[in-house]
């Protein structure tokens, strides 16, 4: 049995514009999932829709509609603000719009 810590989980949906490396242009869905998955606290990424891909000078900007499962410290007082802030502050995220909580926040006990 795995000993996992207690976490506060929030599931959000958002239109997220993500910067991915140009060399990942042949597989943008996988690159976006990987890029978003590297943001601290993001536990699961589900891309609902992949939109426009714009070739910028040093990266590709990919429009997405995503569903993200985020795990936070159980003592977090304003989980929604913290979640939005983490997403907006990530270097790979260009823009976040239509941010909505789909589920949570709720506590998942350790097991």
Alpha helices per DSSP H over 13-78: 28-37
Q: Which domain holds residue 45?
A: 7-106
Residue 98 in any domain: the answer is yes
Residue 74 in any domain: the answer is yes
Give the per-residue pLDDT at 5: 80
pLDDT of residue 1 exceeding 80: no
77 burial class (0-12, 13-18, 19+ CB within 10 angstroms)? exposed
What would the pLDDT profile of 71-104 be if each residue is shown by its tens digit? 888 888 888 888 889 888 999 999 999 999 998 8
Number of domains in the chain: 1
Residue 2 in any domain: the answer is no
Q: What's 74's domain CATH number?
A: 3.30.70
Residue 78 in any domain: the answer is yes
- CA-nearest of 18, 78, 26, 21 to 45 is 18
Residue 18 in any domain: the answer is yes
DSSP-based three-state secondary structure for 79: helix
What would the pLDDT profile of 6-42 be if each residue is shown by its tens digit? 889 899 999 999 999 998 878 999 999 999 999 988 9
**Residue 30 and residue 89 in contact, taking contact as beta carbons nearer than 8 Å:** no
**Cα(92)–Cα(106) distance, rounded to whole angstroms?**
27
Residues in the chain: 111
pTM of the complete model: 0.84
């Amino acid at each position: 049995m795995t000993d996992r810590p207690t976490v506060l989980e929030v599931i959000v949906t958002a239109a997220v514009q993500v910067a991915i490396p140009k060399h990942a242009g042949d597989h943008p869905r996988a690159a976006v999932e990987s890029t978003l998955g590297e943001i601290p606290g993001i536990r699961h990424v589900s891309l609902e829709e992949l939109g426009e891909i714009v070739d910028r000078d040093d990266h590709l900007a990919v429009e997405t509609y995503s569903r993200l499962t985020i795990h936070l410290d159980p003592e977090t007082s304003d989980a929604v603000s913290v979640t939005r802030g983490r997403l907006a502050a990530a270097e790979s995220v260009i823009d976040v719009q239509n941010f909505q909580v789909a589920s949570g926040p709720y506590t998942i006990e350790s097991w």
